[in-house]
Amino acid sequence: MNQLTEKTIGCPYCGEIIDVLIDITDLDQQYIEDCQVCCKPIVFVVSENEHAELIVRVFSEDEAF
């Protein structure tokens, strides 16, 4: 069963606010998806906080995290 949830993020390159679909089965993993506006690769890190809320952090490829 595919469990997708929509999240709003800001592109670390162009700053555009975009809506993305996050697969909640990707918890505690990172993956790369291209920005829908500027097409640059965004690194996504998906996790949960202590209240089981989905946390999505985004980085440019050259940022350390």
In the predicted model, is pLDDT for residue 46 greater than 70?
Answer: yes
Name the percent of the chain lying above pLDDT 90. Answer: 65
Which helix (H) or strand (E) segment holds residue 39: the answer is none
In the predicted model, is pLDDT for residue 64 greater than 80?
Answer: no
On whether the CB atoms of residues 47 and 27 are closer than 8 A, the answer is yes
Position 1 scores a pLDDT of 54
Rounded to an integer, the average pLDDT of 21-47 is: 92
For 26, phi then psi, to 5°, come to -90, 20
Q: What angle do CA 31, 33, 39 make, to 5 degrees?
A: 150
pLDDT band at 25 (very low <50, low <70, confident <90, very high): confident
Give SS3 for 26.
helix
What's this model's pTM, rounded to 2 decimal places?
Answer: 0.85
